[in-house]
Structure 1
Amino acid sequence: MGLAERRKTLGYSQEKLAESLGVDRTTVGRWESGKIAPQPSQRPALASILGISLHELEALLSPSQTAEQGAARQKSSDHPSAGDPDEMIRREFLRILTISGALTALPFDEAEALADGVHRGNPADFARMNSHLWQVYQLARSKRTVYPVVRDQLATLNEALAGGRRGNTPPLLNAAADLFQLAGEVAFDANRYVDAASSYALAASVSKEAGAYDLWACALVRHAYVDVSEHRYRQAAEVLSAAERVAARGDGTLSTRHWVASVQAEAHAGLGDLTGCEKALARAEEVQHLADNSSNGGWLRFDGTRLAEERGARYVQLGRFDLADETLKQALDQSALAFGHSYRRRGAVLVDLAVIGAKRRDPDQVVDYAREALDLAHASSSGYIARRLRSLCDEFGPLSRDQRVAGLGAEIATLRTP
């Protein structure tokens, strides 16, 4: 009996099992097909739901894993020229650079040398590779395309850490904390909250060990944002308070503490605290007094350019639609310059404007803005935009009787997430 058969025997659908575990339905499907295996942190809960021991769970998973490995071996034998794993990783990295259009200034020879340095365990090359991967992630329309290289970079980094080279540990720990945060971002965008939270927790732990306060604070902010996305605002506020204390020990020339404040504003808005939200936004806006190099474009990207849209979104949360409407429309007018390649940012503003339309019972505003956001969700495969659009449907109320709004809701309901 395999995992799918055990699930069906107990009367669980893939959707129900996924909901019980806090993962996406497609994740369960990939477990059952053997494309991926459950994370160690997920296995106790999975075994408990299925009414079996961890040892029995391993037995259920092994047939799928064996089949997958056999298929991989067959594919390798069919294509003996494919090369060794290191060469395949290098090719995948270079392929993603080409597809995404990122780093066009990086010569091919330099990219190959960088990949070689990573596989030799050079800490400086790990840091440079991570920086490039963040750029690829930001420019990629579909964030999941970055996952294969992030996964392989993690595997290589683990090997370097296991080697325990003297003098290299602190830089390697920094590189690990950096990469764990990127892995969490990819998982978060794909609605894999459990995986994202685990990645952020690892990043925080490794950063703490390395004494890298800004990395540590950023990992805590990202972890808190998982709670924010699930509307657990009080828990998020507690984590953000810890992030604020850590950031205070970091580099004052970086924007870390200002990013903490911007997410604290969202937590305060979720709790209905207008005064706390305004104070946090004011602290966040102090980033404008920092030098241009206050963010690194990787694990720390907060530079204040999105504060207008964030302020508008907070007013939406607080029900101050008069303030939100003007602020968000100004942000949207500036979007070509402000958003750049970020479908996610533009999509968020569009959904917020559609929410205002729903609150005002204005079907035209709902349809105009939500339709464009839906197009962006299709173009980017962004789980974040999809989640926001589904939340919008909860605001339709009487507008659902409008044929255009009803049709829009039906399209959103069929929107697939990664």
Structure 2
Amino acid sequence: MTLKDRRKALGYSQERFAALVGVDRTTVGRWDRGETEPQPEYRPKMAAVLRVGLVVLDALIKESSASPEPDTGSPSHDVYGPGEDDMIRREFLRVLAVAGAVAALSAEESDVVADAAVRDDAAGFLRMNEHLWQVYQLARSKASVRPVVTGQLTALNESLSDRPSPHGPRCVAAGDLFQLAGELAFDGNRYTDAAAAYSLAASASKEAGAFDLWACALVRHAYVEMAGGQYREAVGLLSVAERVAKRGDSSLSTRQWVAAVQAEAHAGLGHTPECEQALDQAETVLHLGAEAHNGGWLRFDGSRLAEERGARYVQLGQLDKAEDALHDALRQGALAKGQSFRRRGVVLVDLAAIGAKRQDADQMLTYATEALRLARQSSSGYVARRLQGLQAEIGSLVDDRRVAELGAEIAALSAS
């Protein structure tokens, strides 16, 4: 077995493993291919992350060096290569640059299209985007939506290439659609692709002067940072998102969503007062009207407040308060009959984490087993990743045969 084999068996992407060890993803790629060996200062942390002793780690490193992967001349990617996604992003950046240049030219120097035609074109894309968000939310397997989103991005790029100016209305459509593309990548644990999509969404939204759309792109980018344990970086991003949202529409729930995610980042840093303050700010969404969200790129409507608060209390170690809030979330989801497999799975993982922290094997197994079932049914990489994180909480429970078997099932799910 090589380093790469062990890493993937535990469900770690190159990005996640790099974040845990404290190196760049490209360094992990070189270790995977046997091109270089880890320096001694990284080995104790690697051994802990891979759950092996230093002797076994040394054997994995030697096996990797003895069986190097062929150098294809291109970067290593765990799931998807740069391929079509990367080409779409490069094309959009080229079109955006051309559009900006054309817009700066005088009317005599540029071929300006009628505003009405552009608005009609953009409206068509926005209607399709709205439909795709609905499909995404209802889809049991999020990955099944990827081909049609890719097709929509290609069509939007072609539209921008054909008529690069004026480009504001279609940049709104791009800022919307790239956020959906980022969601798909994030759910599949492709953090680099997700970050790239959210960055493009922010750029397009800024170009269009769509402040709420722009703020939401920054919020989603913060989730990528938190997935890698980079909570301080997430706080910085969210601070910018907060300032951008203040320039947006106060009747929308953008500011409340920013606050909800700020609570998560502060909880990750152990900042209880800041977390509580942000949660209270998020709850002001309940005072907004029915049109506070659009069900697409902005979906924060207050229905997740219980699960958000419960999850934050888990992070902060306030287990009794967390358990009450999470059970409320499950009850609310059952009554509404609209809680997705992904959302329910995350609540169950948090309840399992409470059992693990209490060293209560029965509680941990009850909730984790159900979450594992939902992760398999939905093919959600996000729920699988949350289950993988549960492994770090198990501690002495690993001596329980049932817990060990569950850990093997989680590892197999993450690897697949």
> Structure 1 residues 175, 387: CA separation in 2 closer, same or farther (over 3 Å shift)?
same
Deviation at 1:333? 1.9
Q: How far does the alpha carbon of each residue in 1:50-108 deviate from its partner, in whole angstroms, 9 at most, with x for none?
A: 88xxxx837999xxx9xx99xxxxxxxxxxxxxxxxxxxxxxxxxxxxxxxxxxxxxxx
Deviation at 1:344? 1.0
> Structure 1 residues 248, 339: CA separation in 2 closer, same or farther (over 3 Å shift)?
farther
Counterpart residue identity of residue 404, structure 2: A
> Structure 1 residues 300, 280: CA separation in 2 closer, same or farther (over 3 Å shift)?
same
TM superposition score normalised by structure 2: 0.73
TM superposition score normalised by structure 1: 0.73
Match among 11, 19, 22 for residue 15 of structure 2: 22
> Structure 1 residues 121, 194: CA separation in 2 closer, same or farther (over 3 Å shift)?
farther
1:316 paired to 2:310: no
In 2, are the aligned partners of 1:332 and 1:346 still within 8 Å (CA)? yes
The equivalent residue for 1:145 is: 144
When the two chains are superposed, the root-mean-square deviation of aligned CA atoms in Å is: 3.1
Structure 1 residues 7-406: aligned runs within 5 Å? 13=4, 22=15, 57=73, 122-164=121-163, 166-167=165-166, 169-338=167-336, 340-406=338-404
> Structure 1 residues 398, 203: CA separation in 2 closer, same or farther (over 3 Å shift)?
same
> Structure 1 residues 199, 191: CA separation in 2 closer, same or farther (over 3 Å shift)?
same
> Structure 1 residues 244, 360: CA separation in 2 closer, same or farther (over 3 Å shift)?
same
> Structure 1 residues 186, 214: CA separation in 2 closer, same or farther (over 3 Å shift)?
same
> Structure 1 residues 272, 152: CA separation in 2 closer, same or farther (over 3 Å shift)?
same
Stretches of structure 2 lacking an aligned partner (at least 5 in a row): 18-24, 36-71, 85-118
Distance 1:271 1:20 in 2: 23
> Structure 1 residues 48, 121: CA separation in 2 closer, same or farther (over 3 Å shift)?
farther
What is the SS of the residue equivalent to 2:393? coil
Distance 1:205 1:386 in 2: 31
Deviation at 1:334? 2.0
Q: Please identify runs of 4+ aligned residues in structure 1 that moved more than 4 A.
A: 11-21, 42-51, 58-61
Deviation at 1:130? 0.2
The equivalent residue for 1:6 is: none
The equivalent residue for 2:69 is: none
Distance 2:16 2:229 in 1: 17
Distance 2:214 2:374 in 1: 32
Structure with more relative contact order (C-alpha pairs < 8 Å, separation 6 or more):
2
Distance 2:276 2:377 in 1: 34
Counterpart residue identity of residue 220, structure 2: R
Distance 1:329 1:59 in 2: 45
The equivalent residue for 1:32 is: none
Counterpart residue identity of residue 262, structure 2: Q
Distance 2:356 2:16 in 1: 29
Distance 1:23 1:121 in 2: 42
Distance 2:362 2:74 in 1: 53
Counterpart residue identity of residue 123, structure 2: A
Q: What's the % identity of the aligned pairs? A: 59
Q: How far does the alpha carbon of each residue in 1:232-282 deviate from its partner, in whole angstroms, 9 at most, with x for none?
A: 110000000000000000011100000000000000101101100000001
Distance 2:380 2:173 in 1: 26
Deviation at 1:339? 6.2
Counterpart residue identity of residue 395, structure 1: E
The equivalent residue for 1:89 is: none
Distance 1:313 1:60 in 2: 34
> Structure 1 residues 341, 210: CA separation in 2 closer, same or farther (over 3 Å shift)?
same
Distance 2:412 2:362 in 1: 22
